[in-house]
Amino acid sequence: MPQKIKDVTEKWLVGRYSIQVFIPLVDIFSVLAGCELSYWWRFSSFNMPDRFVLVAAMMSLFVIVLNGFFGIYLRWNVKSISKLVSKLFVVWFFSAMFITFFMYFTHSAEFYSRLWVGCSLLMSFVLSCGFRLGVQIFLKYIRAKGFANRLVFLVGSKEDIASVIVSLREHSEDGFSLVGLQYFKIKPTMNDLNLLSEKVIKSGAHEVWLCMSINCSDEVRDIMYALRNLTVDVRFIPDFGTIDMELLNSNASEIVGLYSVDLSVSPITGIAWLIKRMEDLILGSLIFLLIFPLCILIALLIKITSQGPILFKQCRTGVNGETFEVYKFRTMRMHNEPADMITQAIKDDPRITPVGFYLRRTSLDELPQFINVIQGHMSIVGPRPHALAHNIYYKDLVESYMKRHKVKPGITGWAQVNGLRGETDTLDKMKKRVQHDLWYIDNWSLWLDLKIIAMTILKGFVNKNAY
């Protein structure tokens, strides 16, 4: 397979563009296609009346909600076919009950064909199951070719690692490949921990699994601290065996037949990633259209009042440590500064232009970042992106600082609406900002994003701490 095609496949099936984010769209298509085909079979026409379209839309919405409620979108591709089909059957059964109650209580049953409703549910169920089965076969095939796997680095005792390796081999269809390991017989030394971090980086691992006894809390803490500057997912695989029981804790998951405690894993994956991306595309595009005339006016003022480009571009760290160029309206006069040095603006800074002063105070210099949002490098809500030099400086001073990069940076965030804006001239200010950013990542939801956007609008854009 050509390398370019392989790279694209790895990006979509292994990275943050996991194919599971599209499964809800497949369910919507399955329901709508099932309804359309059933209407053609029943009435010999593809022109469904509006009332039939309404029922089809309600049916697809209810299927999506129930699938999310039962957790079917979480790592669906590694579940057994029988278990997956049984759960899908429950979803479609409740969907059928919902449609039946809707027609009964609205006294509209006489306007629909019961044969069409039943056939639509049956056909959409078959289409949805068939797609999942096809993807299962496809993933099993390409993983047998040695790619589209998540790379795993194992840490722990020889005995614990050996049992996990066996499970990895027995569950190769789950899509994990071993790329490195580190044995720790006794409590790891500082030198061991430093070497561990370097080994993980060189291996290119996507995840680090801590294969240890359930009572090794001190060792887990030390290893987590050693990995604090990495953006890999970290999971704790305790050695209490493969007990057959239902998981109740949302922070636990089943990996290659073993139970894992997710110590450092972003919650914004799969269906959550799709929801957040749709939020950014829809709201970001609408906001950009609304602010476009204002952006044109600001661009003209900058061009008329000072020499230099309209936009200021600077490399920042994005999701999973990737770098990108962030856009801002230029607020300073052109000046030379070493590439590895970022001098924060201070009060009465002579570099700031008169127009730039008001842009900074009102945060209007941030408006071009909606282009970054539409491009996919940023979100409307998320941790604010810091300069690369600041990341290098603070990553060893603030614990878990680099964990901010488990999600896309944002134009506004939980820290900003809680007053942590502007210059971070003290270590304490940066620690508080990071604490708020990590809380946001750990508690993300669509409603939290909307709340932060509303708080940003209500509290205004004036930043009294900006210079």
What is the sign, positive or negative, of the torsion defined by CA atoms of 220, 223, 224, 230?
negative
pLDDT of 10 strictly over 70: no
Residue 180 structure tokens: 């490195």
Instruction: For residue 156, give every residue at least 6 positions away whose Cβ sits within 8 Å of its Cβ, in sequence order, or none.
Output: 164, 183, 184, 210, 211, 212, 237
User: Where does the pLDDT of residue 370 fall: very low under 50, low under 70, confident under 90, or very high at 90 and above?
Assistant: very high
- Please determine, for residue 241, whether its predicted confidence score (pLDDT) is greater than 50: no
pLDDT score at 154: 93
Q: How do residues 318-336 score in pLDDT, each as one tens digit?
A: 887 788 999 999 888 766 6
Q: What is the pLDDT, as a whole number, of residue 289?
A: 92
Specify the pLDDT at position 250: 45
pLDDT of residue 340: 52
Q: What is the pLDDT of residues 131-145, one digit of tens each?
A: 888 877 777 777 666
Share of the chain above pLDDT 90, in %: 18
Q: What is the predicted pLDDT for the residue at 249?
A: 38
Name the residue among 390, 374, 373 with its Cα closest to residue 382.
373
Q: For every residue of 266-325, which 3-state class applies, written as one string?
A: CCCCCHHHHHHHHHHHHHHHHHHHHHHHHHHHHHHHHHHHCCCCCEEEEEEECHHHCEEE
pLDDT over 70 (residue 425): no
In the predicted model, what is the mean pLDDT of the chain? 80
The string of DSSP letters for 351-368 reads: TB-HHHHHHHHHTGGGTT
Q: What Å distances lie between residue 83 and 25, 53, 86, 138, 255, CA to CA?
A: 21, 31, 5, 19, 16
Q: Which residues contact 51 (CB under 8 A, 6 or more apart)?
A: 108, 111, 112
463 pLDDT higher than 80? no
pLDDT, tens digit (0-9, with 9 covering 90-100), for 396-410: 788 778 888 888 999
Residue 295, pLDDT above cutoff 90: yes
Among 26-30, 101-105, 238-242, 296-300, the range with the most confident prediction by mean pLDDT is 296-300
* Whether residue 247 has pLDDT greater than 70: no
Write phi, then psi, for 435 (nearest 5 degrees). -60, -45
- 248 has a pLDDT exceeding 50: no
The string of pLDDT tens digits covering residues 160-202 is 888 888 888 877 767 788 899 988 867 777 888 888 988 998 9
pLDDT given for residue 220 in this prediction = 84
Token digits for 5? 């095609």
Q: How far apart are alpha carbons 169 and 280 in whole angstroms?
A: 39
Q: Does the pLDDT value for residue 92 go beyond 80? A: yes
Averaged pLDDT for residues 382-387:
87
Closest CA to 207 of 320, 318, 316, 319: 320
Confidence of residue 246 (pLDDT cuts 50, 70, 90): very low
Structure tokens that stand for 292 in this block: 């476009």
On the question of pLDDT at 436 being above 50, the answer is: yes
Q: What is the pLDDT of residues 271-287, one digit of tens each?
A: 777 788 889 999 999 99
**If you average pLDDT over residues 450-460, what whole number do you get?**
85
Whether the per-residue pLDDT at 81 is higher than 50: the answer is yes
Q: Is the pLDDT of residue 80 over 80?
A: no
3-class state of residue 46 by DSSP: coil
Q: What pLDDT score does 452 carry?
A: 93
Decide: pTM greater than 0.75. Answer: no
- 114: helix, strand or coil: helix
